[in-house]
Amino acid sequence: MMAAERTFIAIKPDGVQRGLVGEILGRFERKGFKLVALKQLTPTRELAEKHYGVHRERPFFEGLVAFITSGPVVAMVWEGDGVIASARKLIGATKPLDAEPGTIRGDLAVNIGRNVIHGSDGCETAAFEIGLWFNSTELNNWQPSDYVWRVES
Ligand code: UDP
Ligand code: MG
């Protein structure tokens, strides 16, 4: 079987501290994606700087790294056809006031610096971020019993 598409998702410290972990996990589960890895950790500065390396020159970088390392993050890998783009749709626009109602940020956030969740923005980013946050032994290769109902025929 071909390796299906995977994306890296992280509930940021605001999402964890506001008690939104279950709400957010539920949206990905109900959509029908498959959870292949899940852990809670407080990121080191090194991990946070690598994760947000593309934003190193941006004015918000220091604040972003300080925030993301300030407490526990729930890091996940979700799998499914089209999961990278679909997860970005479920998440909504970066600026929560521009995010559509029905999206995670549209429903649950108001502040761009506290927008609850991260999701990989493309194939290469997803591969990089999954490798950065997880060891291969933490990624579970499994087939849900309703697998045939999840794939387009
Ligand atoms: N961010 C911020 N101020 C900005 C732009 C971004 O604090 O003006 C933060 C915000 O938390 C965002 C993260 O930096 O989620 C990464 O920015 P990106 O443009 O990659 O947005 P995302 O991919 O998370 O939607
Ligand atoms: Mg991004």
List, for residues 2-59, the tens digit of each pLDDT value: 568 999 999 999 999 999 999 999 999 999 999 999 999 999 999 999 999 999 999 9
Confidence grade of residue 149 (pLDDT, cut at 50, 70, 90): confident
Q: What confidence tens digit (pLDDT) does each residue in 91-132 have?
A: 999 999 999 999 999 999 999 999 999 999 999 999 999 999
Confidence grade of residue 83 (pLDDT, cut at 50, 70, 90): very high
Residue-level pLDDT at 2: 54
Distance, in Å, from the CA atom of 43 to the CA atom of 64, rounded to the nearest integer, reads 12
Site to probe by mutation for ligand 1, drawn from 8, 64, 73 as the one with most ligand atoms within 8 Å of Cβ, is: 64
Distance, in Å, from the CA atom of 131 to the CA atom of 133, rounded to the nearest integer, reads 6
Q: Is the pLDDT of residue 69 over 90?
A: yes
Q: Is the pLDDT of residue 1 over 70?
A: no
Question: What residue has token string 């993301």?
Answer: 68
Determine if ligand 1 sits within 6 Å of the CB of residue 94: yes
Distance, in Å, from the CA atom of 35 to the CA atom of 147, rounded to the nearest integer, reads 13
Widest Cα–Cα separation across the chain: 47
Confirm whether 51 is a catalytic residue: no
> What is the pTM (predicted TM-score) of this model?
0.96
Q: Is the pLDDT of residue 66 over 80?
A: yes
Confidence grade of residue 76 (pLDDT, cut at 50, 70, 90): very high
Determine if ligand 1 sits within 6 Å of the CB of residue 7: no
Residue-level pLDDT at 3: 64
Question: In this structure, what are the phi and psi dihedrals at residue 76, rounded to the nearest 5 degrees?
Answer: -145, 155
Ligand 1 centroid vs 115 CA: distance in angstroms?
A: 8
Q: Is the pLDDT of residue 152 over 80?
A: no
Residue-level pLDDT at 61: 98
